[in-house]
């Protein structure tokens, strides 16, 4: 799997549009045995599935499933359908995510805080738990778990408190899972934790990239993530300033870091003009 996903079954959440669709297109282009598409937007999912089916020309099974991954029951039921109708995936890309760009006290507990934590943090755990045991039982077949987190999970930022919390949870769970699998000898299952800064998918419309941290294109990010996934890389931080900021935050006193992040790099003002996907 270090070069292509040829012959593999690939499951992607948030697959109807944006980066999820780009991952699916790559899987089809490389000759995946099956591409399993999960999304709650039935119309967009149907359109994407039709386009991918035409491109695959019968070489790849395209399997779309409509569900809301904030619903644990829906995940369990759909996972069972996948196992029965397609087979256990070899690759799971936990791509789906939502963001609420507002001050914490402006979040509604149900509509905002709960849904953000369910989709961004809990759903990847639930989904991985459904498919991981079969991956672990097959030592001769390489498998991948790819968790799309965010640089926000490593650096505090105004107007992103709940989103940052959800991604911090995702990062620490994902890397802990990597360590557990390595420790227990399941070397065939590789976990990659991805933490990019802002991407121009529409999800962060209006957000401004901090100093030396341009808003990245989805195509550029997908290319980098795909390469990391194939190689089984444990972590990918994008762009380089994300890793640099993490190290700098680790050595500076909090007051000094606030000055650097807020006044020099402009991190703390990056969400001031956020509007999000409309």
**Active-site amino acid positions:** 163
Which residue do the tokens 């590789």 mark?
190
Structure tokens at 166: 């959800």
User: Residues 265, 268, 270, CA angle at the centre, nearest 5°?
Assistant: 80
Q: Quick one: how many helices (H) and strands (E) in the chain? A: 9, 7
Structure tokens at 79: 């996972």
User: Which stretches of the chain are DSSP H helices?
Assistant: 18-29, 42-56, 72-85, 115-117, 123-136, 161-183, 218-231, 240-251, 254-259
Closest to 5 measured CA to CA, from 183, 245, 232, 198? 232
């Amino acid at each position: 799997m270090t070069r292509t996903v040829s012959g593999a079954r690939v499951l992607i959440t948030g697959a109807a549009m944006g980066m999820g669709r780009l991952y699916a297109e790559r899987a089809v282009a490389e000759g995946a045995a099956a591409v399993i598409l999960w999304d709650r937007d039935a119309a967009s999912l149907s359109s994407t599935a039709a386009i991918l089916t035409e491109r695959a020309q019968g070489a790849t099974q395209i399997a779309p499933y409509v569900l809301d991954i904030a619903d644990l029951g829906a995940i369990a039921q759909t996972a069972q359908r996948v196992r029965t109708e397609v087979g256990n995936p070899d690759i799971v890309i936990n791509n789906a995510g939502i963001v609420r760009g507002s001050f914490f006290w402006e979040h509604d507990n149900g509509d905002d805080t709960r849904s953000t934590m369910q989709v961004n943090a809990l759903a990847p755990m639930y989904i991985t738990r459904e498919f991981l045991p079969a991956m672990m039982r097959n030592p001769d077949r390489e498998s991948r778990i790819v968790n799309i987190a965010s640089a926000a999970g490593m650096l505090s930022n105004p107007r992103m408190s709940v989103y940052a919390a959800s991604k911090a949870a995702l990062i620490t769970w994902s890397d802990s899972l990597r360590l557990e699998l390595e420790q227990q000898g399941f070397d065939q299952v590789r976990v990659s934790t991805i933490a990019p800064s802002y991407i121009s998918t529409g999800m962060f419309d209006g957000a401004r990239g901090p100093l030396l941290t341009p808003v990245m294109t989805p195509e550029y990010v997908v290319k980098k993530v795909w390469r990391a996934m194939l190689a089984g890389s444990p972590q990918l931080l994008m762009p380089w300033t994300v890793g640099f900021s993490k190290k700098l935050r680790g050595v500076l006193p909090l007051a000094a870091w606030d000055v650097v992040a807020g006044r020099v790099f402009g991190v703390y003002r990056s969400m001031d003009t956020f509007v999000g996907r409309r």
